[in-house]
Amino acid sequence: MNGSEAPSPTRSSTDTDRPVAGITSVFWLAVAGAVVAAGVHVALVEFRFRVLHEFTWSSREFAWLSLGGYLVWFLMLALPLAVVSLVLARIRRRAVGLRLVASIFAWLAALAILLLYQKIHPVSQLVLALGIGTVVGSRIAANGARGMRWVRRVAVGGTVALGTVGLLTGGRLSSADAPASPAGGAAPDAPNIILLILDTVRASSMSLYGYQRPTTPVLDSLARESTVFDAAYATAPWTAPSHASMMTGLWASQAGADYLNPMFDSVTTVAQVLAGRGYVSGGFMANTGYAGYQLGISRGFTHYEDFPFSFQQALWSTTLSQTGSGRLLLESVLEGERWKIRQALTRPSLRTETVRKSEPLTAATIARNFFVWRDGEARRPYFAMLNFMDAHAPYEPPDGYRTRFNSGKTELDRYDGGIAYEDSIIGSIVERLRARGDLERTILVVTSDHGEQFGEHGLDSHGNSLYLPLLHVPLMVRAPGRAPPDNACAPSCRCATSPPRWWTSRERPPGYFREAHWRGRGHQAAAPTWARSSPRLPPS
């Protein structure tokens, strides 16, 4: 074999009957195996989401990310095989057989595909993959140069196909989610709108609502310029249906979102309505699991960010990475925790879990991404939705806020620290808007999708009850010139009932924030016409 080996398999000088694998052959086999594994994975994800209408907890850029992740896995395996092949070829004693190399890559591709079906026992998955790999490797070797030509065609054709799928479904916006064309320009005085969703933040843990710890000093100060709703209740005790209600104005049962399925295709979102009024819109979601684009709330947005588009995210976008052992191996490399290598090898696990985020999306990251997007847009009015997750389990807020209260000894202490961290980021957003001269023409809405339980009624977490710790959420509206400042609205409202019409209307709709509809400090009044009244709930 010469030093510039041809793409076809070569033969050793000692065994002219056995096809051997040179460096180029190893490379093409690795790429073809990665492409096949990624192709089947992407096809199943797209089928489940677009045909079966199921959540797959994956990114819009999954086709690209998955291909990149599988290429890393297969090329990592190809490297030692190529080195062995090169060394053996140099010393001209024997060569690595094409059948063996092809079988190894075919086995890995088959295992990656079989991991998609978790009802098969892990031992059966390994045995089936070994059998498939042996058969495929034997067929490739039996056909020699012809077999390698097919391998190259699969590698090139599959890469092109996955790249095309990525172009059609990828990017921060897909044609299916994009607004049609704006019905016309926005009104000259149309305000910007920022919706801040503090994921998992309950009203009772905010000093804005009388909590003894100073968790929200920024919001406390901002309340003097805003209207604070004393009795706002989420429509559901967990993320997906509550976000769906906020974005559609419908009850959770009408919007259709649940643990396994996204919103109904027929419902209209706030972003779609605002697009018809000439708005651009951007969504920036830290909760990628149940507030990502697959939920359906991204419809109408001109820009929507959920899963990071990064090298690490690509590594997590394969079934091999999602197994217990694969996760430990990756974490050992990415996080420097070498002890996890031993655990991955001594306690192997092929059980998979859903695609995870490559990195935490802190409130500071979400805010930074929002301003980067805004700086790149023309000076049109915008609607921005920012979702913060720093108060969500596992309650690990950054920048020292983990130990802000009581040294972070309990989960509740760290939860309060997460709220305080988000409050500080809201302060930075407000100050940046003020410095840009945008604050007085921006409607700022601060709310939450649901609360959290810390032992109340013998329960923890969320999604498992309808008690007030889960349903009573903050709602504060700062709308210069549209809502009276330093007010509190006493009658109940549900967060499903906030239509965008009063945010952008050129004409004041009936009941437009008349003073009679608001309760100032120490005064009682009827509910605003756009808020549905209901009896006050008991304080527990």
452: CATH: 3.40.720.10
149 and 251, same structural domain? no
Indicate whether 330 belongs to any domain.
no
| In the chain, % of residues over pLDDT 70 | 82
One domain for residues 160 and 30: yes
> Are residues 90 and 144 both part of a single domain?
yes
Interatomic CA distance for residues 458 and 440, integer angstroms: 45
Inside any domain, residue 421: yes
- 55 band by pLDDT with thresholds 50, 70 and 90: confident
Same domain (yes/no): 253, 162: no
Contacts 24+ apart (CB under 8 A), 181-185: 182/275, 182/276, 182/277, 182/278, 182/279, 183/276, 183/277, 183/278, 184/277, 184/278, 185/278
> Does the residue 204 lie in any domain?
yes
For the chain, the average pLDDT equals 84
Let me know whether 402 and 507 are in one domain: yes
**Which pair of structure tokens corresponds to residue 478?**
């700062």
151/207 same-domain check: no
Paired with 227 in beta bridges are: 477, 487
Q: Which domain holds residue 411?
A: 192-310+356-520
Split into its structural domains, the chain has a count of 2
Single out the residue in 169, 204, 227 at which a domain terminates.
169
In a domain, 341, yes or no: no
15 with 55, same domain: the answer is yes
Which DSSP symbol is given to 187?
P
* Predicted TM-score of the model (pTM): 0.83
φ/ψ (deg, to 5) at 170? -90, -165
Q: Based on the fold, state whether residues 240 and 369 are members of the same structural domain.
A: yes
Residues 488 and 423 reside in one and the same domain = yes
Looking at the domain assignment, is residue 457 inside a domain? yes
Is 199 within a domain? yes
Contact by Cβ (8 Å): 450, 465: no
**Is position 424 within any domain?**
yes
The answer to whether residues 150 and 205 belong to one domain is no
> Is the same domain home to 54 and 150?
yes
Q: For residue 167, what pLDDT band results from cuts at 50, 70 and 90? A: confident
Q: Are residues 153 and 254 in the same domain?
A: no
**Domain-terminating residue out of 135, 169, 203:** 169
pLDDT digits over 197-242, tens only? Answer: 999 999 999 999 999 999 999 999 999 999 999 989 999 999 999 9
Give residue-wise pLDDT tens across range 456-490.
Answer: 999 999 999 999 999 999 999 999 987 777 666 65
In a domain, 321, yes or no: no
Higher pLDDT, 82 or 86: 82
